[in-house]
Amino acid sequence: MKTIRVGSRESKLAVIQSELVMDAIRASHPDVVLELVTMKTTGDKILDRTLDKIGGKGLFVKELDAALLEGRADLTVHSCKDLPMEENPAIPLAGFSRREDPRDVLVLPEGVTELDETKPIGCASARRAVQLKALFPRMEVAPVRGNVLTRLRKLDEGQFSALVLAAAGLKRLELEHRITRYFSVEEMIPAAGQGILALQTRAGENLDYLDGVVDEEGTLCARAERAFVRALDGGCSSPIAAHAQLHDEDILITGLYVDGAGKVLRRTVTGPRDRGEALAVSLANEMKEGCLCPEK
């Protein structure tokens, strides 16, 4: 019998996401034996600084990448939005899952029904911060680190008036009841890959066991969104966002980019679904050249 060791960050959400993938593998390949291997990444250990100050999103995958390269894991499962945009050909992304809810949400402290304007809204990305300032111009926005449960504890302790989190993570943690407001994908363009799980393996491996996990729509959208951010050299500190949606045989891609002068640009492009990555790169290049009007 084939044994697959599945590598995961040790946070509750990461384990749940890995178990979702493992359940899907078992459903289509009951002969495969699965073992979960968890580890704490550098990004999980350093919580007193924002990601752009300590090395970016790669700190959440460094240990998992090493486990793949050294043969201690055969498959790693990631939140797609937390992955660096550049891929190592020795450990390629094998595909992406069906997308859970891609939206961002507003979460208030337990028992609270209105924003307290004397405290900041906590968020963990420049992408969210720049869009929050347009939605709540009178509110301060402050960084917050830690996994979802840690952030919720900080919120309920009174450190923030509210948090902005990904709907997908709260739903997977069965914390949907904490959501106060859903932001539409037009109000707050999601991070590239938000709501999608990315599957990473070693090059040259037989990946037939993933046929019940990899989703065509999720993969097309994730690859287009990642291509947009990669074309703009976007890291975790860059106010860049991309969201793709499929409509029959077409793909619609919406991008957000903040240039060096602080000008916020948004635009949407539509074209054939099999040209998503090329369309995304073209859109990114157009926005980089600054030929669009600033957001009203």
Please say whether the beta carbons of 37 and 22 come within 8 A.
Answer: no
Instruction: Name the pairing type of β-strands 75-79 and 33-39.
Output: unpaired
What sign for the dihedral angle of Cα 168, 129, 255, 240? negative
CA 145 to the chain's CA centroid: 15
Tokens 């902005």 belong to which residue? Answer: 164
Told to judge if 82 belongs to the known catalytic residues of this protein, a careful annotator would answer: yes
Among positive and negative, which fits the CA dihedral 223, 90, 37, 22? positive
Q: Are strands 197-201 and 75-79 parallel, antiparallel or unpaired?
A: antiparallel
Catalytic residue among 44, 65, 74, 82: 82
Exposure letters 169-199 (e unless 16+ CB within 10 A, then b): bbebbebeebbeeebebeebbbbbbbbbbbb
- Residues belonging to the active site: 82
